[in-house]
Structure 1
Amino acid sequence: MMKFIFPLLLFSNLIFAQRNIFDTLKKSNYPELKNNFYHFFDNDKSYEAKIIAQYYLEKAKKDKNSIQIAEGYNLMHFNEDFPTALKYVDSLTAVTKNVAGDLYPARTYLIKGNLYYKYDNLKAALDNYVLGLQHAKIQKNRSQIAYANMNIAYLNTYIGKNLEAAKTFRYYLYNENNITDEYQHNQMRVSLINCYIEINKLDSANILIQEALKSSFVNKNKYSLNQYLYLSGYSNLKQKKYKTAIAELSKANDYFARIDDNTSNYILYSLGKCYEGLGDKVKAVKNFVKLDSIIQKSNNTFPELREVYTYLIDYYKEKNDKEKQLYYIDRFLKVDKKLDEQFKYLSTELPKKYDTPNLLQEKEGIINDLRNRKTILNVSVGFLLIILLLLSFLYYRSKKTEKQHRKIAQDLINSIEMKNLETPPVTQLAPSPSPAIVQVETEDKVTEDKTAKTTPDDVTQLILKELEAFEAKELFLKKGITSASLAKSIKTNTTYLSEIINTQKGKNFAAYLNDLRIDYALNRLIKDKKFRSYKLLAIAEELGYNNEQAFSLAFKKKTGITLSVYIKEIEKSNNSQ
């Protein structure tokens, strides 16, 4: 049973101070006027609320603001009877027909649905809520979707689907605070508590009730305080704590009856059930009779009224009061017919118009999600295949390069070993590199270079002799050798020295020095096992380099391979012998 809960009043806000409306109307903007309207409306001050609504609409028309004119019609419809209220909502529909944005027409259908709900036409309420939800989804307006879902959840409670309704209320209570305002947030909690009571989750209901009672007491909100007092009484009724329930329900009823609020109907029903539980038929009948008199005026029904009329019929049957017995039979038949029509419609149309479309949408969402996952999976697999192919290519290339480097190293080793066999060790100079690696001068080239020289022949011969000694004594292994220092040591100048090296050796001084050092390293590494075990820095320093990076670069440039590959191939060659 959904007790005293009405669909959400869209865009309401109760956070403002009490003020004299007549003195502040002209000074107030639209949000302030709307806040004041809801303040008076929710405190059952319909006259003041109506004055604000009229002023709001006149101000909007004067400003020629379509959105605010629509809001003015919305405020006006709250304080009118059904026919007049419906005319205002129709005017709202006409004003917003061509309004851009994602608010209308979804909001119009939800407002009309609330109006039908208020006057107990649940069929029309459902139809409008469903239309509002459809438009809200098309316009992707999260707030309107939330309002539609919550209001449809109220209808679910009417046909006993409290578990399904509780899921909706709990979701929007805890997950969508940015959509619902304080008033609506409170209604979600009230609705969730009521559902918990109906499905006998009384512990969960009582926890929320106690939290809400404390909050309402601190905020001095009398309406909310008495709402939760009623819910506490209703929970105690379910637990058969009748006396405690009566005390709470009676206190809440004093407030709601005074402000002529519809909540009083549900309190009278609960009070009657309490007295029925205590066996006090007279007081039970008193509350049920009073409830019937209110229902006749408002024509607002709820499913539990069947229990009220069957109790009254049985009571007057016992009293042999046929007149009243007949009267309540007639009342029962009228109410039951209306309840039956609404129940049948809601129980048939709710699954068809709401549950089934939602399931289909959920199914479509799952299908799309799976399709997207499949697409992502295919892209990922494709990407991984590309990476695998790239890695395979890089691996193949590295293996091919490694094989080439090993071949170069082997050729170098064989070439050097052959040179060592051909040349006596005593007179051997540093071996020449493999023809495939080091450029060899032709006789024509040397002759051509010699014809271009400017150095005197005797100086040339002297320098060549000194260079031969320089190479034989391995003086190139000293650190810090420069063309200037070498020229000075052989008593010549750098011009002559550079020219001789360029013309006779076919390279500049730096290349000449590096080639001597690398050729020495190639030869010694083959012969000297201990030298091969040196760290890279030690080998570089042994060869006269200032750092290992300079040596590594020179070695790679000269041979085309790294030192580690060369040493590895030497070890393999020695092991195979």
Structure 2
Amino acid sequence: MLRKVLGLFIFFLFTLFHSQAYYAEIRNKYWEFEENDEKAFTYVNIYIKSAKKEKNYKELFQAYNDAIRYSPNRKLQYADSSVTAAHLSKDPDIIGNAYLAKGSVYYFTHRKFKPALHEYLKAYKYLENSDDQFLKERNLYYIGTVKSYLGYYSEAAEIFRKSIAFFKPNTKGNIHPNLIFNNRKGYLNALHQLIVCEQATGDYKNAVLHTVQGLKETPATNDFEQERSYFYKTKGINEIHQKNYDGAISDFNKSITGLKKVNDFSWISAINYYSGLSYQNKGDFKQAVAKYKAVDSIFAKHQFIFPQTRKNYEELIDYYKKQNDPQQELFYTKQLLKVDSVLTNDFKYLANRIHREYDTKELLQAQAKLENKNSFSEKLVIILSITLLILGGLVFYWFKTKKDLQKKYNHILSELDSVRPEVIQAEEKNIEKVSKLDAAVIKNLKEKFKEFEKSKRFLEKGLTAGRLAAEFETNATYFSQFVSEFKDSNFNTYLNNLRIKYAVDQIYNHKEWRKYSVEDIALACGFSNRQSFSNFFYEQNGMRPAEFLKKRNEEVQAERKIG
């Protein structure tokens, strides 16, 4: 019996090692291919098919993970497959690794921070108790990149320093070449991200030292062309700080070549912005504008821009203002509003989740460790709980009041674009079928009201329905009936609605308006006095104009701190 069991055990070990050797042999056949090279799939597909046949889910995960690297346009599909295979393996490390891989596709390939963070936080749940330190450090590195994007540079820099401290010692020694390769990638990318934080906080002394270090320690092979490009990019930004604009342009040209090979459009966008800035400082405005427009092209295609390059649009607006080209000035003003909308939406989502699901969890884990070390932990917890309950009650009331105000403020912002005549077109088509007005009258009045709103004549003081009806070459009855049916209100309400929405738009988008008093804003928007403006503003939006001004100013100050 013992001999039989021993025989089965030896057979199991033989099968296991034979299987592992077989898969390792397949991987060796394509490991030297460059990223996104589809020729690798000659072997990757064999790997996938064999692992599926054997129901070897650990190897199947690895096969799909390799497929992500070599697929130019199906990375997300292979990432989903790797997650499925990982769950079938029932190994927490493999599952966490799969979510990391999927998050990396969202981050590196698509620069979609929201879904990327979603996957990183899933990975964090599976890897927080893992013995695989490499995976844990990789996960923390990715969370650090989100913190950096949000502008939490000090917190992000601390994460990257820890990543460097882990990855760098493992870039040499008597370990597997694949591990050395992965650790070197981790080290160089963490070093690059640390430099990004140093440049953002004005620490150019360390940024220069670390950039020199990065270029020196990056292997001169195709496998590390992307990392080398990152360091040329940071070198160029350092050159701008030193006012060496020719040197900066040269470095950016070296950087962009490698990044185009892997389609890293996010940093290509940043390089275009900084190149434009260099040309502008040299006095070559034609080249500067061409680079700034390249940033806009990337934003239009991918809806992505780094917060620190938002000034790209301010430069374009200023350029066309000086060129006396209002059409282009208006176009890039609208583009800047779109940029701000994307950044605002990303920041609210990311900041909320990273603090609620990552930072808070870390604090709770730290608290648990402290409690285990103290013999009086139970009493401490009771005291803290009572204190937190009391404080919680007070904070709850404060937050509820603040939340209600924020909800009203958000509702106002969601309707910022509604001062456009075309927003009611869908309703107008249905109304025309039952309207008692003649079709010709409707057509004439639509055009007149459209021009009236477009020219912002609603800001004029002393406007009356009778006066406007005469200008529109119609009688008062038709005029009032049109307003009632097509504007869904009486004339005074319609007029005041437009004025309030205009006031909201100006306060939100123009800093000079936020310096005005409520009375000045009321007069500028056509109201006869502050009180009537304030009352109508409250009636329409649920908050006073003074409260809206305060909220917007607080928001702007917060954005400046983040930037």
Shorter-chain TM-score bucket reads 0.5 to 0.7
Corresponding residue for residue 533 of structure 2: none
Q: Is the CA contact 2:188–2:218 (under 8 Å) kept in the aligned structure 1? A: no
1:157 deviation in Å?
A: 0.5
> Partner letter of residue 243 of structure 1?
D
Distance in 1 between residues matched to 2:193 and 2:27, nearest whole Å: 25
Q: Against the structure 1 CA distance between its residues 52 and 313, is the aligned structure 2 distance closer, same or farther, given a 3 Å change threshold? A: farther
Aligned position for 1:182 = 184
Q: Which residue of 2 aligns with 1:329?
A: 333
| Residue 356 (str. 1) matches residue 360 (str. 2) | yes
TM superposition shift of 1:81: 7.6
Per the TM alignment, residue 152 of structure 1 is displaced from its structure 2 partner at its CA by 0.4
Match of residue 212 from structure 2: 210
Q: Provide Cα deviations, 1:33-74, integer angstroms capped at 9, x if missing partner.
A: 5567565344xx532344443343234234442111122222
**AA of the residue aligned to 1:53:** V
Deviations for 1:243-272, whole angstroms, at most 9, x for unmatched residues? 322222223234434664434222112111
Contact 2:37 2:72 in 1 (8 A): no
2:311 aligns with 307
Which structure has more helix as a fraction of its residues?
2
Per-residue displacement from partner, 1:126-185 (whole Å, max 9, x unpaired)? 222112112111445433321221100000011111111111111121234448522222
1:73–1:201 CA distance, 2 compared to 1 (3 A):
same
Task: Give the Cα–Cα distance (whole angstroms) in 2 for the partners of residues 349 and 193 of structure 1.
Answer: 25
Residue 119 of structure 1 corresponds to which residue in structure 2? 110
Which consecutive residues of structure 2, in runs of 5 or more, have no partner in the other structure?
Answer: 1-19, 171-178, 379-563
- Report how far residue 79 of structure 1 moved: 5.5
Q: Which runs of 5+ in 1 are unaligned?
A: 1-26, 375-577
Query: 1:236-275 residue pairs with structure 2 within 5 A?
Result: 236-257=239-260, 260-262=263-265, 263-275=267-279
Structure 2: distance between partners of 1:162 and 1:52: 42
Does the C-alpha gap of structure 1 residues 254 and 138 become closer, same or farther in structure 2, counting only changes over 3 Å?
closer
The corresponding residue for 2:489 is none
- 1:161-560 aligned within 5 A: 161-176=152-167, 177-178=169-170, 181-216=183-218, 222-257=225-260, 260-262=263-265, 263-371=267-375
Residue type of the alignment partner of 2:51: A
CA contact (8 A) 2:57 2:88 kept: no
Using the TM superposition, give the Cα deviation of residue 219 of structure 1 relative to its aligned residue in structure 2, in angstroms. Answer: 6.2
How far apart, CA to CA, are the structure 2 residues paired with 1:54 and 1:120? 28
The CA distance in 1 between the partners of 2:166 and 2:246, in whole Å, is 37
What value does the CA root-mean-square deviation take over the aligned residues? Answer: 3.1
For 1:48 and 1:198, the matched residues in 2 are separated by 40
Distance 1:334-1:218 versus aligned 2 partners, 3 A rule: closer
Contact 1:102 1:140 in 2 (8 A): no
Q: Deviations over 1:308-360 (max 9, x none)?
A: 12221222232233333333233223232111100111222211111121122
**Equivalent residue of 2:243, what SS?**
coil
CA contact (8 A) 1:149 1:168 kept: yes
Contact 1:120 1:299 in 2 (8 A): no
**How far apart are residue 368 of structure 1 and its match?**
2.1
Are the equivalent residues in 1 in contact too, given 2:82–2:98 (CA < 8 A)?
yes
- Larger gyration radius, structure 1 or structure 2: 1
Matched letter for residue 347 of structure 2: F
**Relative to structure 2, which stretch is displaced further, 146-155 or 355-364?**
355-364
Per the TM alignment, residue 203 of structure 1 is displaced from its structure 2 partner at its CA by 1.9
CA distance in 1, matches of 2:306, 2:27: 31
Is contact 1:93–1:108 with CA below 8 Å preserved after alignment? yes
Task: Tell me the equivalent position of 1:10.
Answer: none
Distance 1:301 1:55, change over 3 A: farther
Q: Distance in 2 between matches of 1:299 and 1:149?
A: 26
* Pair 54,302 (structure 1): closer, same or farther in 2 beyond 3 Å: farther
For residues 151 and 195 of structure 2, the distance between their equivalents in structure 1, rounded to whole angstroms, comes to 15
User: Among 33, 53, 60, which residue is 1:40 paired with?
Assistant: 33
Letter in 2 for 1:57: I
1:22 corresponds to: none
Alpha-carbon shift at residue 121 of structure 1 (Å): 2.5
Contact 1:193 1:208 in 2 (8 A): yes
Letter in 1 for 2:316: L
Q: What amino acid maps onto 2:312 in structure 1?
A: V
- Whole-Å Cα distance in 2 between the matches of residues 102 and 57 of structure 1? 21
Secondary structure of 2:186's aligned partner = helix
Please give the secondary structure, in 2, of the residue aligned with 1:200. coil
> Partner letter of residue 362 of structure 1?
A
Specify the code of the residue in structure 1 equivalent to 2:196: N
Highest RCO, 1 vs 2 (Cα 8 Å, sep ≥ 6):
1
Check 1:119–1:217 CA distance in 2 against 1; reply closer, same or farther (3 A cut).
closer
1:74 equivalent in alignment to 2:65? yes
Question: Does the CA-based 8 Å contact 1:76-1:88 persist in structure 2?
Answer: yes
Task: Write the letter of the residue equivalent to 2:99.
Answer: Y
Inter-CA distance 175–372: structure 2 relative to 1 (3 Å threshold)? farther
Mapped pair 1:87 → 2:80: no
Q: Is the 8 A contact 1:136 1:142 kept in 2?
A: no
Q: Counterpart in 1 of 2:135?
A: 144
Q: 1:307 to 1:39 in 2, by over 3 A?
A: farther
Partner SS for 1:120: coil
Counterparts of 1:140 and 1:208, CA distance in 2: 30
Q: How many residues align?
A: 345
CA contact (8 A) 1:256 1:264 kept: yes
The one-letter code of the counterpart of 2:79 is V
Distance of 1:197 and 1:318 partners within structure 2:
31
Contact 1:272 1:287 in 2 (8 A): yes
Q: Judging changes above 3 Å, is the alpha-carbon distance between structure 1 residues 128 and 252 closer, same or farther for their aligned structure 2 residues?
A: closer
User: Residue 288 of structure 1 aligns to a residue in which SS?
Assistant: helix
Separation in 2, partners of 1:188, 1:121:
20
Give the 3 Å change call, closer, same or farther, for CA 33–288 of structure 1 in structure 2: farther
In structure 1, the residue matched to 2:537 is none
Matched letter for residue 88 of structure 1: Y
Q: Would you say the 8 A contact 1:197–1:238 is kept in 2?
A: no
SS of the residue corresponding to residue 202 of structure 2 reads: coil
What letter corresponds to residue 33 of structure 2 in structure 1? F
- Among all aligned residue pairs of Structure 1 and Structure 2, give the percentage whose two residues are the same amino acid: 27
